[in-house]
A and B are shown apart, each in its own frame.
Chain A
């Protein structure tokens, strides 16, 4: 069975600190997709990134970066120089061809001014 673990339930940082959100997944499939979504206090779900299992290159988008390590089944997300607007719940998710799309339990990030 597929599973996504986000061990950090809540994290608090002070603005401008860097923060890393951990994601560990389990799957028996060799082809799969990993995602990160953001859910701000307003409640909507916002797509951040999609990565396939064959692409282990790290990705950077502005202050956001993602580290995919297949050897440790991890797909960690780092926010550099965090801002108050980054406060949200962040979900890591695993997709096996659209079947059994699995979300992790989420990490609530609070960025304090």
Chain B
């Protein structure tokens, strides 16, 4: 079954304690992206990757890191989480032909993060 998986689904942590949210896709997609969803703001792009070892900032990258060492995995790292990073996070993947932008994005189930 084609899918994007994220772990953990729920996480409560304290300010400053480093954490990683994993994301994996089994569709051999080139493009992967992280979003955060906050009430009234829709989804905002944090980082995206067009292929292995190619990553770039989205609209709200501050306080986040990513890596793309393998095509299937795109972990999101919060080195020193703060309460304003409390949010619902989605990972997504898509085909990417290098010229025409993304196709349908497949989203993971979301990770609800609370930072106290």
Q: Do A and B bind each other?
A: yes
Decide yes or no: A98 and B102 within 8 Å by CB, A44-B109, A103-B42 being known contacts.
Answer: yes
Number of interface residues of A (CB under 8 A): 27
A1-43 Cβ-contact flags toward B at 8 Å (1 or 0) = 0001010010000000000000000000001110100000001
Count: A-B pairs, CB below 8 Å: 64
Taking the closest CB of chain B, its distance from the CB of A9, in whole angstroms, is 8
Number of interface residues of B (CB under 8 A): 29
Closest 10 CB pairs of A and B: A45-B107, A103-B42, A103-B43, A47-B104, A105-B42, A97-B101, A33-B101, A98-B102, A95-B101, A106-B42
Partner of B40, one of A102, A103, A105: A105
CA gap between A88 and B66 in the complex, in Å: 31
- Closest Cβ neighbor of B41 among chain A residues: A105
Taking the closest CB of chain B, its distance from the CB of A113, in whole angstroms, is 26
B78-116 Cβ-contact flags toward A at 8 Å (1 or 0) = 000000000000101010100111111111011000000
